[in-house]
A and B are shown apart, each in its own frame.
Chain A
Amino acid sequence: MASKSKADPNKKPKGRGFFGSIGKFFSDFVKRFADGSIGTKLSHFIFGAGNFYHKQYVKGALFLLLQIAILAFMILCPTINGTPYGYKALANLTLKNVTEGGQFDPVSGKFAEFSSNCQLMVLFGFVTIAVIIIYFIIWNKNIESSYKADMDRKVGKKPSTIGEDVKTLFDQKFHITMLTPTCIAALVFTVLPTVFMIALAFTSYNDPDMNAAGTKLFGWNGIENFKSVFTGEGSLGVEIKNRFLPVLGWTFIWAIFATLTCYFGGIILALLINKKGLKGKKIFRTIFILTIAVPQFISLLAVRNLLGEYGPINSLLQNLGWIKEPIGFLGQNPGDSEVLAKIMVIIVNMWVGIPYTMLMTSGILMNIPTDLYEAARVDGASTTKMFFKITLPYVVFITTPYLISSFVGNLNSFNTIFLLTGGSPTYPGYAAGGTDLLVTWLYKVTIEQGAYNTGAVIGIFTFLITATITLVTYRRSKAYNEEDTFQ
């Protein structure tokens, strides 16, 4: 602990560290069991017993019902699509006996319902683990509630009634009421799927493999998938080995260029529009905002067709006699240039992204203290000099968080690439094309090819990259360190 606090002097010293709180948690348990009334002691085994003891019947019944429901879930193992929950799901999670899920159908050459069952085994295993964790949380809450009633009794207060408990949910414990819907929804639809996919990265689950061989079984295979990024062996095949570094490199190049071009382009555009004495500011602004307002799948598909082989731009260039054959701007055909496609997506992205920065910086530009400019003018500074010495530093200083978040956003900018080029030009035999980013590659590999383990590996790498960048910059940012000053 000492070394940690040395490394981070900004951190306020806390009364007790992580291990301290764990220690307190357990000592609380012992204390409650020893001190508590007979009801509290019973609560350790039967949920709500302490509440019944203190005549808090509704609360007691609620705890008891929850316990019965969860135990029934664990023991009776309800099944969905032939895949069980409960203790059987925990056994399934070892993935040692997955052949019983389905049979290989020689006619279609596919596993009938097999693949989805292995998926569900992992998924339901994690659901069951989540349920067990919830069980222990409720267990703890139930003892806590009983013990609190004991203490109330001791000092001569009456244990709280259900009505009072509900009231506190709208006052002192209002955050519980407000956060419960989000926590449940996020747990089910965000946390659980993420955990599930992370787990798949450590399995051999791969649609093409499973369908082709018929003997390959689904199972855990440790970090083999991560190794195969470098070796090209194992169930991921050569795809990830040969395409990982090119795609990663391009993702970074793309993110850097896309961020910088849109950022500075946006600032310049904002300066132009906000120029003193310019009329029709509103009209210009509206024109540029129009591209934000129009759904991206419309505007980007329009650009894609505009630049297409038979589109107006190619035919215009041909009519002018500048080119003979149509240019594959977006690399749609196999022989098309990859570099050109890459340059084009960055240029088209400027068309998409500049208005956002313009919108953002307009307000900031108007708030630059005018006396700065007055002083500079008196000193005889030129307009260019004022831009580089006053405007730019000021705007960059204020919008640094935006710069970072837009860089991270660009690393994951799915729409632009997917709608414009779809990753083209393609590499025969590989899913990842010349302009594919990590995210579009991830999409292709999982959704189109069903190679879930490859996709999960790519996803984890993407996460590691974005997380590193975000955490490093975010922890240094004012917004994080001085959060309280805003309040």
Chain B
Amino acid sequence: MSNNLRPMKIKSQSRNRRVSLGVTYTILIVLSIIWLVPLIWIVLSAFRCEYHADGTFIGRVTSNFFPKQFGLKNFTDLFTANYCGVPNAFPRWMLNTLIVAAADCVISTFLVLSVAYCMSKLKFKLRKPFMNVAMIIGLFPSFMSMIAIYFLLKSIGLSGNTENPALSLVGLIFAYSAGAGLGFQVAKGFFDVIPNALVESAKLDGCTNFKIFRKIILPLAKPIIIYQALMSFTGPWMDFIFARVIIGAKNPEYWTVSVGLYSLLFGSSFSDANLFTQFAAGCVIVAIPIVTLFMFLQKYYVEGVTAGAVKG
């Protein structure tokens, strides 16, 4: 009796399983489509090349999801056009952002690693107070101090400097990276996992703390270095609030790419002067390197995020 029942049970179980797998596939595919639609739409819009009956180009948002004609006009326009009175504005914005991002990446990563190491592996009197102060300061909304940072930078000529507006890029680098050291929690969580015994034994062998940091901690910290570098490098490509305030509306030459692209979209709403398709083309160009970087370093990103979240 039981011999007969068994295969039937397995059979029905496997059928149940197949049904539930099928349902899962369906749900996941539907969700994937929902998740991809806006991104696909941006890419399609970037390649859209439609004209009015009178031959003028349609650059605004149109009601059709799929373009009627494809072309590279948006990209060629983007690279050659004169926006806000700046010739070849887009390549300039890209270069500005690259400079800021590279500098921010180096400075922020250094600051974060040095603080995280101190908080995790060195014992000193002001350790706990420092951590508490860092946390409390982190709770103030950053937009609150933004205007003060602007005044501060302006007073030392690193923002709104009419003689040498390029200096506001330096100001922007400061604004991005100066506070980075206070965001050490994720990296500290990572260092905490490195066994203290390793540090102690090195100390017994006569290593100085500096040597321990350089020879033991840094080589082990590769994942968190990559995570921090990735975060601080991509930051300036995504932020446009700080950039807009610190560089200012009057210096389109020194805008970062996000400020520039934002201006294309809202320069004039829903008229033919709205440059949505060129905005889309710019987005594709900005997104490709960042997404590629992200996908390659995904492993480190996941490690960093989970370390920060689970330990808390």
**A residues bordering B, Cβ < 8 Å?**
80-81, 83, 116, 119-120, 123-124, 167, 170-172, 174-175, 177-179, 181-182, 185-186, 188-194, 196-197, 269, 272-273, 275, 277-278, 284, 286-299, 301-303, 305-306, 308-312, 314-316, 351, 355-356, 359-360, 363-364, 383, 398-402, 404-405, 408, 412, 414, 418, 438-439, 442-443, 446-447, 452, 455-456, 459, 462-463, 466-467, 470, 474, 477, 479, 486-487
Contact = CB atoms under 8 A, between A and B. Distances in A.
A389 to B, nearest CB: 19
B17 A356 contact: no
B1 interface: no
- In the A-B complex, list the 6 residue pairs whose CB atoms are closest, starting with the nearest: A401-B312, A182-B181, A315-B63, A193-B148, A459-B144, A189-B178
19 contacts: A174-B118, A178-B118, A182-B115, A185-B174, A185-B181, A190-B145, A192-B152, A273-B28, A293-B295, A299-B42, A301-B279, A302-B280, A303-B38, A311-B61, A351-B34, A364-B306, A399-B310, A463-B144, A466-B139
A174 B208 CA distance: 9
Contact of A314 (B24, B63, B145, B302): B63
Given A186-B178, A295-B234, A302 B42 contact: yes
Contact of B312 (A80, A314, A404): A404
A278 B21 contact: yes
A138 to B, nearest CB: 17
B21 A401 contact: no
A353 B148 CA distance: 31
Given A171-B209, A171-B210, A486-B311, A312 B152 contact: no
Contact of A302 (B39, B120, B136, B262): B39
Contacts of A315: 63-64
A218 to B, nearest CB: 14
A306 B40 CA distance: 11
A462 B62 CA distance: 40
Contact of A294 (B27, B290, B312): B290
B193 interface: yes
B151 A116 contact: yes
A308 B265 CA distance: 13
Contacts of B238: 295-297
B149 interface: yes
A305 B269 CA distance: 11
B46 to A, nearest CB: 11
A398 B307 CA distance: 12
Contacts of B262: 297, 301
* Chain B interface helix/strand/loop/mixed: helix
Interface in B192-217: 192-193, 196, 208-210, 213
B147 A197 contact: yes
B62 A439 contact: no
A56 to B, nearest CB: 22
A192 B144 CA distance: 12
A182 B311 contact: no
B221 to A, nearest CB: 14
Contacts of B21: 275, 277-278
Interface in B249-291: 258, 261-262, 265, 270, 276, 279-280, 283, 286-287, 290-291
Given A116-B151, A175-B122, A298-B283, A186 B179 contact: yes
Interface in B97-127: 110-111, 114-115, 117-118, 120, 122, 124, 127
Interface residues of B, number: 97
* Chain A interface helix/strand/loop/mixed: helix
Contacts of B261: 297
A359 B312 CA distance: 16
A272 B27 CA distance: 9
A196 B290 contact: no
Contact of B61 (A175, A288, A305, A466): A305
A189 to B, nearest CB: 3
A314 B295 CA distance: 33
A351 B38 CA distance: 10
B41 A310 contact: no
Contacts, number: 281
Interface of B: 17, 20-21, 24-25, 27-28, 31-32, 34-39, 41-42, 60-65, 110-111, 114-115, 117-118, 120, 122, 124, 127, 130, 134-137, 139-141, 143-149, 151-152, 154-156, 174-175, 177-182, 192-193, 196, 208-210, 213, 234, 237-238, 240-241, 245, 258, 261-262, 265, 270, 276, 279-280, 283, 286-287, 290-291, 294-295, 298, 302, 305-306, 309-312
Contacts of B122: 174-175, 178
B196 A293 contact: no
Nearest to B17: A277
B181 A442 contact: no
Contact of B179 (A189, A309, A398): A189
Contacts of B147: 197, 446-447, 452, 455
Nearest to A170: B210
Contact of A278 (B25, B124, B144): B25
Given A181-B111, A310-B61, A486-B192, A172 B209 contact: yes
Contacts of B280: 302
Nearest to B151: A119
Contacts of B31: 269, 288
Given A293-B290, A299-B42, 16 more contacts: A172-B209, A174-B213, A179-B115, A182-B115, A185-B177, A191-B137, A290-B291, A293-B295, A295-B286, A297-B262, A306-B38, A360-B305, A401-B311, A402-B312, A455-B147, A462-B141
A404 B309 CA distance: 10
Given A120-B155, A175-B124, A186-B137, A193 B145 contact: yes
A123 B148 CA distance: 8
Contact of A197 (B35, B64, B144, B208): B144
B64 to A, nearest CB: 7
B209 A294 contact: no
A120 B154 CA distance: 10
Given A294-B290, A405-B312, A446-B143, A170 B35 contact: no
Most buried by A among B38, B208, B258, B261: B38
Contacts of A487: 120, 192, 196
